[in-house]
Amino acid sequence: MLSTPQTSLPPETIGDYRILAALSPTTFRALGPGDKSVVLKVCDADCLQRGKLHPGIHARMSRVRELAHPGVANLHSMERDAGHLFAVWDDVPGESIEQYVQSHSMSSPALARLAREVILIVESLHALGIVHGRINAGNVIVDSRGSVRLTHVSPLLYDDPSLDESATLDLLARLMQSLSGDEPLLNAVQTAIERKQSLRTLAAALAVSGDSQNTKTDEPPTDSDVGVRWSTVALAISFALLGVAAAWVIYRTMGS
């Protein structure tokens, strides 16, 4: 059983960071050197050994800090203050993935692309030998450009990728529930869960579903489409007539 860190009201400063707001009992937004906005998250007591950072935790978080992965929030440092150990992360502006899906009118292909982006980031972490360990809706952020970033990689020594796979499938299943009707995307996720498929297999299924739903149907042209087509034809005829007129003038000039 993991011990849950308990905190009282945060101090005004933690190390070189000035606390701005408490995002949760164990997570704080702060300003760091150069007025950079960061998030400080209290680490579990299990991260400490005899009052110091556990060597295994230190090695893991050093690797996370060196990632420079565009899909993962940057880890700046580990700070000791107020009797606690804090991980200092980039403050990623945006919405949680569930909030983003709820607040945007998303087409099925758009949701498929978003889900695939989550999967590809998780898979890329695994390829680097890092298991996130705490994939949930609150730790998957969609920024203002619609890009996904994972936040708060767990400092605990998780090493089984199936932990992330299971959490990712559960998260995507909840997202797909927002779609109405018999959606291929929801079916793909549910099938992956039932058959315990890999994230890579699901990513391929989502790509096929998204592409198939993004294919244009043979709908009759609208009035605006017809207008654009006639405008193009008229422009082409005008250029052709100008060309004929110019050729006639040149012919008459050379003939005289």
Taken in order of first residue, the domains within the chain and their CATH numbers are: 13-90 (3.30.200.20), 95-213 (1.10.510.10)
Lowest mean pLDDT among 14-23, 31-40, 121-130, 247-256: 247-256
Q: How confident is the model at residue 40 (pLDDT cuts 50, 70, 90)?
A: very high
* Cα-Cα end-to-end distance for the chain: 103
- What is the per-residue pLDDT for 25? 87
Higher pLDDT, 75 or 104: 75
Lowest mean pLDDT among 120-129, 168-177, 232-241: 232-241
- Mean pLDDT computed over 56-61: 94
Higher pLDDT, 11 or 26: 26
Lowest mean pLDDT among 44-48, 171-175, 176-180, 198-202: 176-180
pLDDT over 70, % of the chain: 74
- What is the per-residue pLDDT for 235? 38
pLDDT in tens, 173-198: 888 776 655 467 777 777 877 777 77
- Mean pLDDT computed over 204-213: 66
Rg (CA), the chain: 27
* 8, 25 contact by CB (below 8 A): no
- Mean pLDDT computed over 103-127: 89
